[in-house]
Homo-oligomer: A and B are copies of this chain.
Amino acid sequence: MTKENAKPDGHLDLVLTRTTSVPARILWRAWTEPEHIKKWFCPRPWRTTACELDLRPGGKFYFVMEGPAGERHENVGCFLEVVPERKLTWTSALGPGFRPTVDPFLSFTACITFEDTAEGTRYTAVALHRNDADRQRHAEMGFEQGWGTAFDQLVEIAGTIK
């Protein structure tokens, strides 16, 4: 690609970057296999109690997050870009088959990239929003801490993946 999608904009987007010794191959499996996702995707004590992925552009990405007080958030979106071990992009603005979603809980597109560097695998998660209000709302929902804790959990369970 000569032009990159999902370029972060400081006024609209949120970015989390981490570097880990876990290889991209393992991070990718942790990210794309439901039995693994369920173990790390929600910062504890929240849990991911259901997860379905159809890993192709237009394919369904469904997950249910449950909180300690009985809260339950059902999310459905679709994948936009699937580049094994390199890049995974999905959006909450479209559902399976690219159909626009009805009132998503929060409208955003997430782009996760995995890059090999001298220090290890650089993991970058970018959340793209339609406006500053949605960016702020996502930040206030705890994007930085939530996605950061989830990443720590991901690294923790990576050791269980062969």
Contact B94 A99 (CB under 8 A): no
B98 lies within 8 A of A12 (CB): no
Q: Nearest chain B CB to A102's CB is how many angstroms away?
A: 5
User: Which residues of A31-82 have CB atoms within 8 Å of chain B's CB atoms?
Assistant: 54, 56-59, 80-81
A89 at the interface (CB under 8 A from B): yes
Give 7 A-B contacts (CB < 8 Å), ordered by A residue: A3-B54, A3-B56, A4-B97, A5-B97, A6-B58, A98-B109, A102-B131
Majority SS of interface residues in chain A?
A: loop
Across the A-B interface, the 8 shortest Cβ-Cβ residue pairs: A5-B58, A100-B130, A100-B107, A93-B100, A98-B109, A5-B97, A99-B128, A102-B130
Q: Which residue of B lies closest to A58 (CB)?
A: B5
Given A56-B1, A81-B57, A128:B100 Cβ within 8 A: yes
| A130 / chain B contacts, CB cutoff of 8 Å | 99-102
Binding site for B on A (CB under 8 A): 1, 3-7, 12, 54, 56-59, 80-81, 89, 91-94, 97-102, 107-109, 111, 128-131, 134
Determine whether the beta carbon of A5 is less than 8 Å from that of B80.
no
Give the residues in chain B near A99, CB-CB below 8 Å. Answer: 6, 12, 109, 128-130
Residues of B within 8 A of A3 (CB): 54, 56, 59
Chain B residues within an 8 Å CB radius of A54: 3
The answer on a CB contact under 8 Å between B98 and A89 is: yes
